[in-house]
Chain A
């Protein structure tokens, strides 16, 4: 089978390379008491280290024929013919790489979000803001050969949630990302530059590292803006990558 990704660190007859150990200092703690839902759902015992197992270094692949023609266009993919979703129109784009800096091609990225008023199309969301009949709230893309992706949507609204009594989520888009290894599997959220709710959010603040929060914050990208049509935000994503020591062999370390 063709194996373009990581191709220079593996052969056809050998196992995929191990991943670098996960750096938990840039990941949210399982228990983050200010985020109340974590109190009863965070495991109390230490994770058991199980590195380098084939079942975790393999994973499902998704082809470029998976997404339909409108899957990347949340402005239109649920809208009636000739209609479009309400709200500020944006392009969200970026590159999916691994920790070694290699682009991750052919990877499935799924996104979901509230509408421009902050309301999700979900039976459990009873927020006062109305549903937009022309907005479903999900989309998906497959990364290109250079790891790039882009999709079209509207800026989601901030919304209140039952946590501490008066908590508001910053505007955000949820991302589900596949690499080539099941151990790379990632779900995260993208925030918007300049949103004052980011610093106030208990879910965001489960992440102990300021830089890690900053890297989840998309930047306005005027270079990709379409004049008189839509603004652009850039959001780059990094998955775990092969162990650095595998690259130091033969290069003098």
Chain B
């Protein structure tokens, strides 16, 4: 189509992304009542409560301490809280979207949420997973990855985890459980580089 437009170019979020996206975290109070993305699952949300946390390592093995991560996931029944969800109504007390800064000292990000359900769409069943989007100084185009949950039976037949091109790299997409906490570390470079997606 001749009137097709061109996507705006991305630019790095820079080291001060918190001012715009998490101002209270950055110490700027009094403009917004609270930072967006703090509550992924409301008190009445159905499903198993979990914490997902981890660090994002650069090519020198240093954790990023100035980045921002956004999370997007389905509810316990595998439904998205989104206008684009066509398969049914998601849990009314479940938001499914979260936003967190990596800690300025430890580099840890943390999301309190529920374990998502498997997503059945287009005749395919996708193992439970959360989508993560990472922006920071030095990242020119936001990075999309996914955290799956190690040990879940659905992983064996998941259409993404079984992609031939992911052979030998699937471990980088698996969060590891310790009680109610799942750890998902992300490596931007090196032998353990996390799989990032062109979605």
Contacts and interface: CB of A to CB of B under 8 A. Distances in A.
Interface of A: 1-3, 5, 10, 12-16, 21-23, 26-30, 32, 35-45, 47-51, 53-62, 68, 70-71, 77-78, 97-101, 110-112, 120-125, 136-140, 174, 176, 180-183, 185-189, 203-204, 206-207, 209, 211-213, 215-216, 237-241, 244, 247-248
Nearest to B13: A187
Contacts of B190: 44
18 contacts: A27-B10, A28-B9, A35-B138, A42-B140, A44-B190, A47-B198, A54-B80, A54-B119, A55-B72, A55-B129, A101-B5, A124-B15, A174-B14, A180-B84, A181-B84, A188-B9, A215-B8, A238-B8
Interface in B54-110: 58-60, 62, 64, 66, 70, 72-74, 80-86, 89, 95-97
A136 B28 contact: yes
Contacts, number: 282
Contacts of A13: 86
Contacts of B83: 1-3, 5, 58, 61, 180
A244 B140 contact: no
Interface of B: 1, 3-21, 23, 26-28, 30-33, 36, 58-60, 62, 64, 66, 70, 72-74, 80-86, 89, 95-97, 119, 121-122, 126, 129, 131, 133, 135-144, 160, 163, 165-166, 188-190, 193-199
B3 A22 contact: no
B142 A40 contact: no
Contacts of B97: 59-60
Given A27-B141, A60-B96, 5 more contacts: A26-B6, A28-B141, A48-B197, A59-B72, A207-B9
A138 B81 CA distance: 27
A136 B20 contact: no
Given A16-B86, A121-B19, A185-B142, A138 B5 contact: no
A182 B72 contact: yes
A212 B136 CA distance: 21
Contacts of B166: 48
Given A49-B197, A71-B32, A187 B86 contact: no
Given A122-B18, A215-B6, A50 B140 contact: no
